[in-house]
Structure 1
Amino acid sequence: MLALSAEGILPKVDYAIFADTGWEPKAVYTHLDRLEKEIATPAGIPILRVSSGNIRNDALDPDHRFASMPLYILNQDGKQGMTRRQCTGQYKIKPIKKKVRELLGYPYPQRIPNGIFVEQWVGISTDEFHRAKDADVRYMRNRHPLIDLNWSRTDATRYLDSIGLESTPKSSCLGCPFHGNAQWRHIRDTSPAEWQDVVEFDAAIRAGNARANASGNPLLGQAFLHRSRVPLDQAPIDHVTAAEQAARQHEPPDSEDADEVEQGVVDGCSPWACRGEADAELVQDDFGLTS
């Protein structure tokens, strides 16, 4: 959308906002720098980088309240679950809303008068039009330009290729549990330092939230980054496990769930297109506690 605006295909925006979790792959920060230098700055569009902290450091800090990642849980009784996804709200949506309020001239806790709002563009394509929703606050009004253009994800990719941005990386935390096996392999095979980072983080969160453990509320099970619920450096990211194959036998060959094992969650961690909560019976009520 930034490139479309800079080229005049879409109206010129006042600002572009990047919510930084503090733990994006190096390739994402490099790409963002390139966008700013080659596209945004020449077009006179400021890129504002906002943050609520470093999600990796916060998760491992016993003195810091942590908004949980959707970790895979193996309980003591063998049952599987997931921790509730709170990270998108804390590390992406919250800092974006804070910046929008500042741009409007009404920082929290000031009340924003009726009729004062920003038009916010959300990059949802026709493939995921069901995720196109109105904003949940009156001072933001969502618009979905890619849907207005009738663009699919393929159309967007083709456009990026045409302007030399074919290497655009997917923005998500380096250690996001929603990665598919292809993404985990890519990190392992192309960036040894980042792979070591996520392997160490995976081991560090095995017992759950550092703050919950410090306060005497340990996780009643074990937490993992990979859906197989084994340590990441031992996870079957090069092949489909027997359990995964058995699950696939109950799904159509082209099912989205089966494809997620390899490619990850398509929607990823877009601030305004969360995939939503996992099934209620599988979700832990809190990162540090099991139900």
Structure 2
Amino acid sequence: MVKTRAKPLEGGPILRAISLGAGIQSTTLALMAAHGLIDPMPDCAIFADTHAEPTEVYQHIEWLSSSNVLPFPVHVVDGGNLREDLIQGLDSPKSRRFASIPYFIRNADGSTGIGVRGCTLRYKIEPLMQAHRKLLGFAKGKNIRPDSVEVWIGISRDEMYRIKEAKARWQTNRFPLIEKRMTRQDCITWLRENDYPIPTRSACAFCPYHSDAEWKRIRRDDPAAWQNAVDLDRAIRERGNLGLHGTPYLHRSLKPLSEAELDGGMNDLFDNDCDGLCGV
């Protein structure tokens, strides 16, 4: 386990933590660290659970957390149930747990737009920051010296546009895959060469940023997750209360998900991820 309030070596970080999305890149990052190919050895990996990931992601986290896979602990932190909070917000727009995701919107005048996305901050970044504080032994609101936590993020060389600065002065973001000039395909190759499973993309099953290929994969491989997404897509229009001036949809075609053509070749929109934590 991580030692709390440990004395940093030569002014270095007290805690080194992998932000584990459980997708291809962050999995590769964790396993390469376990092999000693990225150093120093991190203190832990942390997975922020939105309770909305595909079934395969939870199975993958269970495998990563099992004995003899990683030499450091995997902590699972809970920022709340995103889907339940979305439904609660539909029923009660003044709900304290109201959540926002980037719905695609058709406005009354025929124009289109996209809704505010607050899900990554609320259900990923903030729970991770709280976990860092807890592991350091600092309560919320207590001052932490700058650069106390080195956060390892699994962004690969082909996604350098997703690099962002850390949210707090006491955190420093590090991108080891970019240091090694590895692309997403390089990660897949490394996993295969080392006989590791290739994980699915880590993202909420109903995320509007999905490509058509990902929607089709969920429909084919995870019928329960697909039905939950279809039901949510219907609910955001039938129940209203989103405070929007137009009609929201989960699919970019601005059609009900159950009716959307999934052969349109639409790419994912994770390029727009403001903090580089979803999808890795």
TM-score for the superposition, normalised by structure 2: 0.81
Deviation of 1:65 (Å): 3.1
Structure-1 separation of matches of 2:49 and 2:272: 15
Give the partner amino acid of 2:142: Q
1:139 aligns with 2:170: yes
Is the CA contact (8 Å cut-off) linking 2:209 and 2:269 kept in structure 1? yes
Identity of aligned residues (%): 38
Structure 1 266/68 Cα, relative in aligned 2: closer, same or farther at 3 Å? closer
Deviation of 1:164 (Å): 2.5
Query: How does 1:50-199 map onto structure 2 within 5 Å?
Result: 50-61=77-88, 62=92, 63-112=95-144, 114-115=145-146, 117-199=148-230
Structure-1 separation of matches of 2:277 and 2:83: 22
Query: Secondary structure at 1:223's aligned position in 2?
Result: strand
Query: Secondary structure at 1:226's aligned position in 2?
Result: coil
Structure 1 129/92 Cα, relative in aligned 2: closer, same or farther at 3 Å? same
TM-score for the superposition, normalised by structure 1: 0.78
Structure 1 65/159 Cα, relative in aligned 2: closer, same or farther at 3 Å? same
1:8 aligns with 2:36: yes
Unaligned runs of 5+ in 1: 241-258, 276-291
| Matched residue, 2:75 | 48
1:31 aligns with 2:42: no
Query: Secondary structure at 2:85's aligned position in 1?
Result: helix
Deviation of 1:50 (Å): 1.0
Structure-2 separation of matches of 1:118 and 1:7: 22
1:264 aligns with 2:268: yes
Is the CA contact (8 Å cut-off) linking 1:208 and 1:223 kept in structure 2? no
Is the CA contact (8 Å cut-off) linking 2:100 and 2:117 kept in structure 1? yes
- Given candidates 236, 242, 245, the residue that maps to 2:261 is 236
Structure-2 separation of matches of 1:136 and 1:89: 10
Deviation of 1:207 (Å): 5.2
Structure 1 30/77 Cα, relative in aligned 2: closer, same or farther at 3 Å? same
Number of matched residues?
Answer: 245
Structure-2 separation of matches of 1:127 and 1:96: 25
Structure-1 separation of matches of 2:165 and 2:257: 38
Deviation of 1:174 (Å): 0.5
Structure 1 232/7 Cα, relative in aligned 2: closer, same or farther at 3 Å? same
Structure-2 separation of matches of 1:274 and 1:5: 21
Structure 1 269/115 Cα, relative in aligned 2: closer, same or farther at 3 Å? closer
Deviation track 1:115-136 (CA, whole Å, cap 9, x = no partner) reads: 4611111111111223333313
Query: Secondary structure at 1:205's aligned position in 2?
Result: helix
Deviation of 1:165 (Å): 2.8
Structure-1 separation of matches of 2:272 and 2:112: 22
Deviation of 1:106 (Å): 1.2
Larger RCO of the pair (alpha carbons < 8 Å, separation 6+): 2
Structure-1 separation of matches of 2:185 and 2:147: 36
Structure-2 separation of matches of 1:88 and 1:143: 19
Is the CA contact (8 Å cut-off) linking 1:40 and 1:46 kept in structure 2? no
Query: Secondary structure at 2:100's aligned position in 1?
Result: coil
Structure-2 separation of matches of 1:223 and 1:123: 31
Unaligned runs of 5+ in 2: 1-28
1:20 aligns with 2:38: no
| Matched residue, 2:231 | 200
Give the partner amino acid of 1:107: A
Structure-2 separation of matches of 1:157 and 1:269: 22
